[in-house]
Amino acid sequence: MYLHKLATVLLAFGLAAPALARDEGGISSLAISRCAGKVGIDTRQSDAAFGLIALDGIPWVTIERTEESVGTQPITTTVTGMGAFHRRNGTSIPFRFTCVLDARGEALMFHASPLMRNLGDSLPPATVVVGSASYPERMVLPKGVELRVQLLDIGKPSTAQVIAEQVVRSGWQVPIPFTLRLPKDWSLEDRKLAIAARLVLAHRSLFELTEPRPITAADLRKPIELTLEKVESSNH
């Protein structure tokens, strides 16, 4: 019964309204990070050409509470959304995904369904913000590090709104590329935009932008290059 429901959910994803920024280590929900970690481990084990995996968060992800099970393992959360695999040979495979988590928030299963372009399947129309993040230190990042990027509307002085975000797991590439997608019908007029980014390992920020970087209309028409600063241990 669960597999039937899973197949139904896999074909759909929700558009969430812009959300208030929350301190989850640079992402609106840690569920997205847990799913990225699961697919990263599975892909490294099965694909020698693994390069990069990106999962989109707000506004393309839906996170729902549930009372189902995978075999004998109970699950409490279902995450559905979209993302992309990028292989070392330069090919990119966009997909829709379903990920399930247990009561501890651990990802039990991740299933990706590539877009069926021969049948006219495609990603929703979007305004795309592309860029990359690097860091000044000469070091190889440990396995499990992920880039978390958020596009913020900081027009209101009291709090910022997350209007797009992405989690990226890279097996080899620095600078680490990212792509933030906004629904095509969203107006950016009268918005004060900024990008926040950090490299995180097991809930600990290794590198980050010390302040969100303001983004102008001209920035949206070209790749954005971010240089992250090392986070001192006293700030962890």
Does residue 68 fall inside a structural domain? Answer: yes
pTM for the structure as a whole: 0.84
Which two structure tokens, joined as six digits, stand for 86? 């990028």
In a domain, 121, yes or no: no
The reply to whether 8 falls in a domain is no
Query: Is residue 9 situated within a structural domain?
Result: no
Q: Report yes or no on 3 lying in a domain.
A: no
Q: Strand locations in 88-125, DSSP E?
A: 92-101, 107-114
Whether the per-residue pLDDT at 83 is higher than 50: the answer is yes
Instruction: Look at residues 141, 220, 219, 203 and name the one whose alpha carbon lies nearest to residue 175.
Output: 141
Query: Structural domain tally of the chain?
Result: 1
pLDDT in tens, 112-127: 999 887 777 888 899 8
Task: Give the model's pLDDT for residue 223.
Answer: 94
Q: State yes or no: pLDDT of 46 exceeds 60.
A: no
Residue ranges making up the domain that contains 211? 27-116+126-230
- Give the C-alpha distances (Å, rounded to integers) separating 32 from 140, 165, 167: 24, 10, 7
Least Cα distance to 109 among 39, 199, 160 occurs for 39
Look at residue 11 and tell me if it is in a domain: no
Q: Is residue 66 part of a domain?
A: yes
Spatial separation of the C-alpha atoms in residues 168 and 183, rounded to whole Å:
20
- Dist CA 98 CA 12 (whole Å): 10
174 — pLDDT class (breaks 50, 70, 90): confident
Q: Give me the residues paired with residue 150 across strands.
A: 165, 196
Residue 117 is classified by DSSP as: G
pLDDT for res 19: 60
